[in-house]
Amino acid sequence: MIEDIVNAMQSFLTNKTRSILSLLGVVIGVAAVIMVTAIGESASADVKSTISQSGLDMVNILGGNMRKIRALQFDETTRREILENVPNVKNVFYKNQISGNVKRGNIEGSASISAIEIDFMEESKLELDYGRYFDETDNELGSQCAVIGQEIATSYFPDGDVLGKKLTVTIKKARFSLEIIGVLLPSTSIFESSDSTIYVTRGFYKRRIKPNPIADSVVIQATSNKTSVAVEKAIKAFAEKKTGESDTLFIMSMQTMLENYEKTTSTLNLLLSGVAAISLLVGGIGIMNIMIVSVTERKREIGIRKALGASQKDIRNQFLVESAMLSLIGGTIGILVGTLLSFAVVKVLGWKFSLPVNAAAVSFVFSAFVGIFFGLSPAIKAAKLDPVVALASE
């Protein structure tokens, strides 16, 4: 067997250019498979970690349709109803979002102002870079203080000194001077674009802007990751019962989102596997083509081997080993090329690279299979040649 492989290699070396060209199809096919899986896996690992970081226990009620959300009246009464009627709810966080003008010195712009409840930041994993979160007192008194995102911090405080400094914010013609008490780390959540947001307490919002506000978006925290899907369903039912309409809310738990994502990626993977299979098929046809040429060109050699006593099986195996080796070499090069390219792509996109071990193993085995499968018919043709006819050919 080792000898067969060595001989196959020798025969490639006598025809270097042609052998390399014939591998090209398999190289490209396998490289495509590796790239697709490696990049796909890294991307999905990235998305998953983002979703997980947003807190898998969170159920978001998005303000898709304002009229419908208003119909639900997310006020203190509704909050009590939710807490009493919907099982597995740990917290109900109300939010109000407004936009305002921001000014500091000669830097001016607009930003989204988010009025939140004090535990919301910690629970939805909005991490502090420095400073502190809101506390009870800030909320009770409606203090003029704010926690800001990274982008706000860098645009309005280019010198870096932020804590204790003030931002002038104009909301609905009322002007406030907000003291910065904390700065958040860059956002990792998909629902909170915290980087460009100025957070104030809902206490501040109630006292200074709108008494008895109705929340325009709600985040409900389930008692655990596992109960979040149940909470999502229960909230939907709750909303339907209350408004008498179905599909009142666009609600999604992070858990459902993760599951949906996994579903789409598995469909996508199936599609990509199809593409990979087709490219390997094309590669296999390339190999078959080259083996047919090889058999035709080497008729004399086949005749000599038969005269020396090679059986049909000997000849067939010789050519099968050659085509399998060709395909395996192509597969190996494809794995290397695919790994290098996907590594480069993943690094450029700033994701974490994970070696596509499974895809590499499958491609390796599959390319051997492709070589044997597509080499079979030329090899059998070689084995069946009549020795005298084969010897007589040039």
Interface residues toward another protein, by CB under 8 A: 3, 10-11, 14, 300-301, 303-314, 386-388, 391
Q: Under a CB-based contact definition with an 8 Å cutoff, are residues 193 and 187 in contact?
A: yes
Tokens 């090889």, located at residue: 294
Indicate the residue among 11 and 323 with the shorter CB distance to another protein.
Answer: 11
Q: Please check whether residue 33 is in contact with residue 186, taking contact to mean a CB–CB distance below 8 angstroms.
A: no
Q: Which is nearer to another protein, 1 or 270 (CB)?
A: 1
Q: Smallest distance from the beta carbon of 311 to another protein, in angstroms?
A: 4
Burial class of 295 by CB neighbour count within 10 A (0 to 12, 13 to 18, 19+): buried
Nearer to another protein, 132 or 384 (CB): 384
The residue length of the chain stands at 394
* Per-residue b or e along 318-336, where b marks 16 or more CB atoms closer than 10 Å to that residue's CB: bbbbbbbbbbbbbbbbbbe
Q: How far is the CB of 320 from another protein (least distance, A)?
A: 16
User: Whole-number minimum distance, CB 7 to another protein, in Å?
Assistant: 9
Our CB check for another protein shows the closer of 13 and 348 to be 13
What is the nearest approach in angstroms of another protein to the Cβ of residue 289? 22
Nearer to another protein among residue 170 and residue 311 (C-beta): 311
Determine the straight-line distance between the first and last CA of the chain, rounded to whole angstroms: 29
At which residue do the structure tokens 């389930």 appear?
Answer: 222
Residues facing residue 218 across a β-bridge? 61, 94
Question: Residues 296-300: contacts with CB within 8 Å, 24+ apart?
Answer: 298/382, 299/385, 299/389, 299/390, 299/393, 300/390, 300/391, 300/393, 300/394
The two structure tokens encoding residue 316: 């067939």
Nearer to another protein, 117 or 322 (CB): 322
The residue among 7, 26, 13 whose CA lies nearest residue 335 is 26
Q: Which is nearer to another protein, 272 or 304 (CB)?
A: 304
Nearer of residues 304 and 345 to another protein, judged by Cβ: 304
What's the min distance (Å) between Cβ of 301 and another protein? 6
By C-beta, is 20 or 252 nearer to another protein? 20
Least Å distance between CB 327 and another protein?
21
Is the torsion defined by CA of 149, 95, 176, 180 positive or negative? negative
Closest separation in Å from C-beta 297 to another protein = 12
| Contacts for 261 with CB less than 8 Å, ≥ 6 apart | 44, 47, 48, 51
Closest CA to 40 of 324, 194, 303, 269: 269
Please report how close the Cβ of residue 321 comes to another protein at its closest, in angstroms: 14
CB of 305 to another protein, least distance (A): 7
**Sign (positive or negative) of CA dihedral 266, 267, 270, 272:** negative
Check residue 160 and give left, alpha or beta (phi > 0: left; psi -120 to 50: alpha).
left
